[in-house]
Structure 1
Amino acid sequence: MKWEDLKKDINSISQEDKSILELTALLASVRKEQNITQKELAEKTKVTQAQIARVENLSYIPSLKTVVKIAEGLNLELVFIDKTPSK
């Protein structure tokens, strides 16, 4: 796929889908930075290795419960930040 085509595809997805992509990419990146295999993460989180692979390959949109389990397995905490500009 050409970069121009990819940019069009990325720009056409919803903000919700972009957020999911960013979150799953972050989880995969942190796992790799921590030198944890998918199998090790699966054992820590009680999420199957196949499920973790599908999340990382973007072939499965995980539930919030699954995201929280994976994040906790990576010693991460989900935090919500108010995007409203402060006055």
Structure 2
Amino acid sequence: MLLTNLETSFSSIPVDEKFIIDTMAKLYAERIKKNISQQELAERIGMKQPQLAKLELLESIPTLKTLNRYAKGVGMKLNIGLVPV
């Protein structure tokens, strides 16, 4: 029952927000994998740690510019593509 509710909740999220959620999850996983603290990453990308924490918790929706800054901070590059609908 809980899984069904989660699936229903997730399916109601707009596609562009799903992209942001998925991207933040991957970036967060990369930060953890590389053992980079929130404080260290925040300093690397010119952001305050509490602001970074809000991004990771999706309490604040990041812009593409912010996603790219985060990606660069963990040694990655944001890559956006187009596909036919």
TM over 0.5: yes
Shift of the alpha carbon at 1:81? 2.6
Look up the match of 1:62.
Answer: 62
Following the alignment from structure 1 to structure 2, what is the Cα–Cα distance between the partners of residues 68 and 47? Answer: 13
RMSD: 1.5
Q: Which has the larger radius of gyration?
A: 1
1-side partners of 2:62 and 2:15: how far apart? 17
> Could you tell me the TM-score, scaled by structure 1's length?
0.87
State the TM-score, normalizing by the size of structure 2.
0.89
Structure 2: give runs of 5+ residues left out of the alignment.
Answer: none
How big is each residue's C-alpha offset from its partner over 1:42-87, in whole Å with a ceiling of 9 and x where there is no partner? Answer: 1111111111111111111012222111111111111223324xxx
State the match for 2:33 in structure 1. Answer: 33
Higher relative contact order (CA 8 A, sep 6+): 2
Q: Name the structure 2 match of 1:77.
A: 77
Deviations 1:5-47 (A, max 9, x none): 1110001111111111101111111100110010010111111
Please, which runs of 5 or more residues in structure 1 have no aligned partner? none
SS at match of 2:21: helix
Runs of 4+ in structure 1 over 3 Å off: none
Q: Across the two proteins, how many residue pairs are aligned to each other? A: 84
